[in-house]
Structure 1
Amino acid sequence: MVPTDTSRLQNFPVSWFAMVMGLAGLTLALHRAEMVFELNNTASVVLLTLAIAVFISLAALYLLKIIRYPQHVRAELNHPVKLNFAPTISIGLVLISIAMLPHQKSASLLIWGVGAALHLCFTLYVLSAWIHHTHFEINHMNPAWFIPIVGNILVPIAGVQHGFVELSWFFFSIGLVFWIVLLAIIFNRMFFHHPLPGKLLPTLFILIAPPGIGFISWMQLNGELDAFARILYYSALFLTLMLFTQASRFLKLQFFLSWWAYSFPMAAVTLATLSMYQLLGNPFFKWLGAILLVLLVVLITGLLARTAVAVARREICIDE
């Protein structure tokens, strides 16, 4: 993972932080499975520790990049695609804070506060860049554009638990409204313009995340499995089914860091499915959640292995 020369450091992409999202998402899904199947929490604690260690390592490297190569960081923040991965830093913090809730509530509060504030800053920056851009085109649009704005929908999951109910509604409202707007634009781009390039095709899985994690946030805010909660969950489940039918296309793709886009959305729908079982007691959701969890574990194990191979072969942190 660690760049070994200056050229690799200057090309160290911010999209590395999507790995933290995947690991933290798996941690949350595993913790929920431990509750559903009445298991001890060893696996989720180990994964939480790994997610924190990966975040710290990546943050240290990216900070070094900011210090040594600020011009390359500015280039990422002005790039129509790479720009949208910068908020994976703040989302990683928010997810870690959620995962820490059952173990260290005070530490969770501190990390949540930093992550939520940072993500709001990213939201304002990215939205301003979208409004005042001079070089973005419809072909630049892809599901990764959900990350900066719709990522706000994650904040209430820990925010409500920490007592910030109205602030949580604020963040949820931002994420929900812009999810609807961006969803329409993204489908317009996919239906009526050129297909996504292979490097960005894995970002299609990001379509699952807003309704999947939105369901979890809505349950925190509303506390009731109402009609809107069901719409969110079943939308996520349908999108998952739709993307599974495209499996042959995804399996043919060359490896890029964008493959980590598979991970968090899969974790989101797995977590939502296990939560549906807890709410309804219907065994269908219990065993569907178990199947999704197995697939998620296999997926992230494969991503870790393939990423390690790519690092060894110097396929990552290169000039694009």
Structure 2
Amino acid sequence: MRVNVKDFAPSWFASVMGTGALALVSKAYSSKLTWLGTLSKGLIYLNATIFFLLLIPWLLRWIRYPAEAKKDLYHPVTSHFYGTMPIAMTIVAMNLAMVGYKGMALPLWILGSLLVIFFALLIPYLFFIGEGVDVKTVTPAWFIPPVGLMVIPLTALPFVPSSETWKGIFIALNYFGFGAGFFIYLALFAIVMRRFITHELLPPLMAPSVWINLGPLGAGAVALLNLTKMLPVAAEAFKAFAFILWGFGLWWLLMAIAITLHYIRNLHLPYSLAWWAFIFPLGAYVSATHNVGTAFGIGAIDSLGFALYWLLFALWLLTGLKTVKHMILD
């Protein structure tokens, strides 16, 4: 196995996002099965290792092959995957804080959050000043930068500062993350829906990206619930809105399953790195299902989340094994 730095895909960090989400919900559901707590800890150490290993070719590509790295920033699909690296960084930071490494995690979370904001500004800016793109090139991968902004409050709770001055800045950052991320997602959602309705299905290699829409819905619901814990203003309204996002997420989950089955039965679903699009979005939605069920005391919703957890675990295992297999063969 040899890593090709020149052609290293930014989307590799989606594997870190997905594994980190699985670690988070494994910890959440350890209240039902205690061994899931041990699994969560193992996943956290594995995920941190994967993140730092992937960071090496990511950085080397910018140093040794800046023209190729910059070219991807102007690509209508690949550019959005640059957001996965800083999102992965914030998730790894939260994961490390979960197992007691807050001193190491806090700088990672701050840097990751700043880079999330940077790419969430840079990528749309490049499209705004560009010559425009064909709507056929639009995919749900366009949701990744706004998802990153909403992941800031999703991962923030372990890092709430004790100083009142810093706490105010911290809360403002998290409200900015949700506000900017949600409304960018809302605008892009209309464009993506138009593409789905007025054009043919996505190519089979991109089929898993249909699941990405669960990312902003799941992350947004958890982020809202976290914001009420940081600053309990309009808490009931925020909780209700989180419930609404969860409801739409359930509709999209059923739609994503139906479309995926259509590919399997009528077209083709070949393995690619895009398979990691199954994992983080579903993980975010499982987390939202657990948090909404707990916040409203509705056991049936939390039980649904636990059932979806096993779907998430199965997809993570399948995708991980296929990824390792292709790495060895390539």
- Asked if these proteins are the same fold (TM beyond 0.5), I'd say yes
- Given candidates 38, 41, 45, the residue that maps to 1:42 is 38
Distance change in 2, residues 1:36/1:178 (3 Å): farther
CA distance in 1, matches of 2:200, 2:192: 12
SS, match of residue 134 in structure 1: coil
**Aligned-pair CA distance for 1:195:** 2.4
Aligned to 1:222: 228
User: Normalization by structure 2: what TM-score?
Assistant: 0.89
In 1, the alpha carbon distance for the partners of 2:193 and 2:256 equals 14
Alpha-carbon distance in structure 1 between the residues aligned to 2:213 and 2:302:
23
Is residue 244 from structure 1 mapped to residue 257 from structure 2 by the alignment?
A: yes
User: 2:116 pairs with 116, 119, 125, which one?
Assistant: 119
Q: Is 1:128 matched with 2:125?
A: yes
Q: Which residue of 2 aligns with 1:64?
A: 60
Question: Secondary structure of the equivalent of 2:76?
Answer: coil
**Is contact 2:77–2:141 with CA below 8 Å preserved after alignment?**
yes
Shift of 1:248: 1.9
Aligned counterparts of 2:219 and 2:295: Cα–Cα separation in 1: 16
**Percent identity between the two aligned chains:** 29
Task: Give the superposition deviation at 1:110.
Answer: 1.3
Contact kept? 1:36, 1:274, Cα under 8 Å: no
Between stretches 75-84 and 225-234, larger displacement belongs to: 225-234
| Cα distance in 2 between the residues matched to 1:35 and 1:233 | 22
How far the C-alpha of 1:38 sits from its partner, in A, is: 5.3
Quote the Cα distance in structure 2 between the aligned partners of 1:254 and 1:38: 36
Aligned residue in 1 for 2:165:
none
- What corresponds to 1:267 in structure 2? 283
Q: Secondary structure at the match of 1:10?
A: coil
Does residue 88 of the first structure (1) align with residue 81 of the second (2)? no
Q: Which segments of structure 1 move beyond 6 Å, counting only runs of 4 or more? A: none
Deviations 1:143-176 (A, max 9, x none): 0001113320110123354331111001111101
Confirm or deny that 1:278 pairs with 2:294: yes
After superposition, the C-alpha distances for 1:106-164 in whole angstroms (9 at most, x for unaligned) are 33321110000011111111111110112522111110001113320110123354331
- Which residue among 176, 180, 189 is the counterpart of 1:174? 180
Which residue identity is paired with 1:43? L
CA RMSD of aligned residues (A): 1.8
- Cα 1:40–1:127 change in 2 (3 A) is closer
After superposing the two structures, state which structure 1 stretch, 27-36 or 83-92, moved more: 27-36
Q: Distance in 2 between matches of 1:139 and 1:17?
A: 25
Q: Would the aligned equivalents of 2:243 and 2:292 in 1 still touch at CA under 8 Å?
A: no
Shift of 1:210: 0.6
Instruction: Please say if residues 160 and 168 of structure 1, whose CA atoms lie closer than 8 Å, have aligned partners that are also in contact.
Output: no
- Mind listing any 5+ residue stretches in structure 1 that lack a counterpart? 315-320
Flag the structure with more relative contact order, 1 or 2, with Cα contacts below 8 A and sequence separation at least 6. Answer: 1
CA distance in structure 1 between the aligned counterparts of 2:36 and 2:101, rounded to whole angstroms: 17
TM-superposed deviation, 1:270: 1.0
C-alpha separation between the residues in 2 aligned to 1:229 and 1:135? 34
Aligned: 1:16 with 2:12:
yes
Q: Is the 2:218–2:246 Cα contact (8 Å) retained in structure 1?
A: yes
Structure 2: runs of 5+ lacking an equivalent: 161-169, 230-234
How many residues are matched?
A: 310
Distance in 1 separating the partners of 2:259 and 2:305 = 21
Q: Indicate the larger mover: 235-244 or 208-217.
A: 235-244
Q: Which residue of 2 aligns with 1:198?
A: 204
Which residue of structure 2 aligns with residue 108 of structure 1?
105
Retained in 1: the 8 A contact 2:119–2:145? yes
Opposite residue 316 of structure 2, the aligned amino acid is: I
TM-score by length of 1: 0.91
Aligned to 1:208: 214
